[in-house]
Amino acid sequence: MRYCLYFFIFILSSCQPKGDASHNSTTTDTTQPITEVSIPVLTDNSVSNNNSLSDTIFLGFRIGMTTHEFDKHKQMLLLKKKLKPSSKGLLYQIEYSLGGSFFGHELTDSIWTENGVVLPEFFQDTLTSIEIRFLNINSHIYYNLLPKLDQKYYESKKEFANFFGTNKQTDTLSIGNSINASVNNKWSIGDINISLRCEYVMHKIADKKVKRTENVILKYSSGYYYNRKQDKKADGERKRYDDVIKDL
């Protein structure tokens, strides 16, 4: 089955040394995913003194941007066709080829094109995170993005969830049911947390026939603003609790 081949591909690729020619990939993105920057640790003073900050992340967006700054930069990216508008929201398109040799078999290079939905998150008129979601796909985009992020930051460790043994689980599935497995990679640079998650969904559609899709999510987020949001949430919960006490 196809998902068995993908499984073997993943296992072998995780064992190969970085830069192995047998797992070479070339990319002709319609955008530039990341730029080299020095990301500072955020503090209340740095936020109040410089609302735009200098911690550039995906496509030149910056943690700490106001919604006005975000919209202005977004319009520039749309004009340059770095992003595309759609009914789903902003789309980031990436085109790449991926081939190699696995277990002695040469795989033909294929051109893949995927569209990821760009989802920003704001807190008090401030950009705090961006997600790029490639949903319900059947491609190698995870294997294309991972080595680039490892090269830019540092070699990350894979975190597996229900990944091994899926072949046996799938064989015993009832038609109409599915199982999920995932692998996660994380990086931390200053205040910015970067994560790449690939979720595999194996759905039994007929006897001895399984449909396999992937959800790949690349996320950039600020630890500082995450803590700010958690503090505000806790304050709200305490206020509601105090209000109940007063009512009693």
Q: Predicted confidence band at 2 (pLDDT cuts at 50, 70, 90)? A: very low
**pLDDT score at 30:** 38
Mean pLDDT of the region 172-191: 90
DSSP string, 24-71: -EEE--SS-------PPPP-HHHHHH-SS-S-B-GGG-BTT-BHHHHH
Tens digit of pLDDT for each residue in 65-112?
999 999 999 999 999 999 999 998 999 999 887 666 544 555 556 788
CA angle (239, 242, 245) in 5-degree steps: 155
Mean pLDDT of the region 141-146: 90
**pLDDT score at 225:** 85
Q: In the chain, what are the domain boundaries?
A: 2-247
pLDDT over 90 at 215, yes or no: yes
List the beta strands (DSSP E) in the chain: 25-27, 90-102, 105-122, 127-137, 159-161, 178-189, 192-206, 209-222
C-alpha torsion 218→222→228→229, nearest 10: -10
Q: Predicted confidence band at 42 (pLDDT cuts at 50, 70, 90)? A: very low
